[in-house]
């Protein structure tokens, strides 16, 4: 076996899942190769990148937010330091009240639902930027932030190349060979394959028995001279994320029965109307992007080894919370691969019955 072309682990896909898992494995001195087809659309490239500790109209704490968010902040800071770059911003969120009922809910729920640690100042309407339509005021949420996931992905790619751990290619599951426990792809040999291909994994025969529930998302980029504070993210149904100068991102939509990667005029209209309801200033849309969130029916990730395909693993199902969840979950995946530590049954593949081929 050519040592230079032999690896212990091959990770298919360099989105959030594949990049962070590779980071942990390389830090543990393991020989890893990430195989990525950069020409394919990826959720990570278009993600708004928000870490929000509260979910939905019912105002409940997001799944394991008090563990996921601090772990994520720590990891992104660590990677930034090592790569000497910036892609993570611990920006607070201004939660704009929809109506009086919503304002009361926030007041009551912040005590009752254990989200007190995330609650900051309650802003009156007249304290907020003039161009923000927030007649009932807004509530500051702390310990939040956003990842510039596009920059994260491209910086991680450069780092992986420096580690000799990146290979630009498409893993074709039909032509992948496995003989005597050794996989071969592009004359590269390896023992373990971890599928981190986001929504693409759902389309392969190996994982077609799993309940993926893809959710298409679209966002727009706009410019405006609005007097918005640049050190806050603004959220009610959608979110306004200041990027730089007078540029902002706004999104994202959800569509459950469209798995194309095309941008749509329906989403654009929805987003423009949403933005007009929040912003009392003119704006110009300068871009639109679409991606597919690798969501699941039970809203839990999909992690573990294939029930009959030995040494074939899946790290997937990060849904709409990949930015905060991936750092904690990739560490768990690392511990499964290196120490055979069992995956939490709540999101282990073992919760599903494999029907056979």
Which token pair is 335? 């511990």
For residue 89, give both structure tokens: 């911003």
The answer to whether 252 contacts ligand FAD (rule: CB under 6 A) is: yes
Q: Is 50 a residue that touches ligand FAD (CB under 6 A)?
A: yes
Assess contact for 328 and 344: CB atoms under 8 A: no
Q: Can you tell me the distance from the alpha carbon of 354 to that of 210, in angstroms, rounded to the nearest whole number?
A: 8
Q: Give the residue, chosen from 9, 11, 15, 160, that forms a contact with ligand FAD under the rule CB under 6 A.
A: 15
Q: Does 217 bind ligand FAD (CB under 6 A)?
A: yes
* Choice from 214, 242, 291, 327 touching ligand FAD (CB under 6 A): 291
Specify the residue, 56 or 356, whose C-beta has the smaller distance to ligand FAD: 56
Binder among 10, 25, 32, 46 for ligand FAD (CB under 6 A): 46
* Per CB under 6 A, 327 contacts ligand FAD: no
Residues 69-128 interacting with ligand FAD (rule: CB under 6 A) = none
Q: Which of residues 293-322 bind ligand FAD (CB under 6 A)?
A: 293-294, 316, 318-322
Cα–Cα distance between 5 and 190 in angstroms, integer?
Answer: 8
- The helix (run of H) or strand (run of E) holding residue 328 is helix 322-339
263 is a site residue for ligand FAD (CB under 6 A) = no
Question: How many residues touch ligand FAD (CB under 6 A)?
Answer: 41
Q: Give 280 or 298: the residue with its C-beta nearer to ligand FAD.
A: 298
Q: Output phi, psi for 90, to 5 deg.
A: -90, 55
Rounded alpha-carbon distances, angstroms, from residue 40 to 15, 168, 197, 240: 11, 11, 10, 27
Whether omega for the bond prior to residue 138 falls within 30 degrees of 0, making it cis, is no
CA angle 143–147–149, rounded 5-degree value: 160
- 3-state class of 309 per DSSP? coil
Q: Which is nearer to ligand FAD, 35 or 54 (CB)?
A: 35
Interactions with ligand FAD, residue window 138-197 (CB under 6 A): 170-171, 196-197
**CB-based contacts of 55: which residues, under 8 Å, 6+ apart?**
61, 62, 63
* Binding-site member from 53, 92, 214, 251 for ligand FAD (CB under 6 A): 251
In the set 16, 54, 226, 267, which binds ligand FAD (CB under 6 A)? 16
Site residues for ligand FAD per CB under 6 A: 12-18, 35-37, 40, 42-44, 46-50, 170-171, 196-198, 200, 217-219, 251-252, 291, 293-294, 316, 318-324
């Amino acid at each position: 076996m050519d040592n230079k072309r032999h690896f212990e682990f091959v990770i298919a896909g360099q989105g959030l899942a594949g990049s962070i898992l590779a980071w942990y494995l390389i830090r543990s001195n393991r020989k890893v190769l990430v195989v990525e087809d950069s020409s394919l659309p990826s959720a990570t490239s278009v993600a708004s990148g928000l870490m929000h500790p509260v979910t939905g109209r019912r105002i409940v704490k997001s799944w394991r937010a008090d563990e996921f968010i601090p772990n994520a902040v720590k990891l992104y800071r660590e990677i930034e330091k090592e790569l000497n770059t910036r892609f993570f911003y611990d920006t607070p969120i201004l939660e704009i009240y929809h109506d009086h009922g919503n304002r009361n809910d926030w007041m009551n729920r912040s005590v009752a639902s254990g989200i007190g640690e995330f609650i900051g100042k309650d802003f009156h309407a007249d304290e907020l930027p003039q161009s923000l339509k927030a007649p009932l005021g807004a509530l500051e949420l702390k310990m939040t932030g956003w990842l510039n996931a596009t920059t994260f992905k491209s910086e991680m790619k450069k780092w992986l190349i420096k580690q000799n751990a990146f290979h630009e290619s498409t893993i074709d599951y039909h032509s992948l060979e496995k003989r005597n426990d050794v996989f071969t792809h592009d004359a590269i040999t390896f023992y373990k394959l971890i599928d981190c291909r986001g929504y693409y994994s759902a389309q392969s025969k190996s994982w077609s028995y799993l309940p993926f529930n893809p959710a298409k998302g679209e966002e727009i980029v706009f410019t405006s001279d609005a007097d918005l504070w640049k050190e806050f993210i603004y959220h009610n149904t959608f979110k306004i994320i200041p990027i730089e100068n007078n540029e902002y991102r706004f999104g994202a939509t959800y569509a459950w029965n469209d798995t194309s990667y095309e941008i749509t005029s329906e989403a654009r209209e929805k987003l423009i109307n949403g933005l007009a309801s929040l912003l009392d200033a003119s704006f110009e849309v300068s871009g639109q992007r679409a991606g597919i969130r690798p969501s699941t029916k039970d809203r839990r990730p999909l992690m573990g080894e294939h029930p009959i395909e030995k040494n074939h693993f899946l790290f997937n199902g990060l849904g709409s919370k990949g930015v905060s969840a991936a750092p904690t979950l990739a560490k768990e995946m690392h511990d499964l691969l290196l120490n055979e530590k069992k995956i939490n049954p709540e999101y282990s593949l073992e919760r599903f019955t494999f029907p056979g081929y």
